[in-house]
Amino acid sequence: MNSFNFNQINHQIQLIMIKILGFVLTIAGGIGLVMGILGVFGSMEVGMSPWALGILGIVFFFAGIGLLKNQKDTDQN
């Protein structure tokens, strides 16, 4: 009888979702960081404080990098 291991499939889906979230946070953080730096030096006008964009960009960027860096690709739990 052929049976699927649903726990292993769920684990693989969770790994993929964490990688996608880490990638999205890293890209959003990079964009926020660039916009914040350009706003601080006056070459770009944004709708909010450029310092807030820069700080949020740093936070999102390092959160995304942390998710991607600490992600294990092994099948061991």
Asked if the model's pLDDT at residue 2 lies above 70, the reply is no
> Is residue 25 within 8 Å of residue 64, measured between CB atoms?
yes
Cut 0.95: pTM above it: no
Query: Rounded to a whole number, what is the distance in angstroms from the first to the last CA of the chain?
Result: 26
Tell me the one-letter amino acid at 23: F
Model pLDDT for residues 15-59, shown as the tens digit of each residue: 889 999 999 999 999 999 999 999 988 888 778 888 999 999 999
Q: How many residues does the chain have?
A: 77
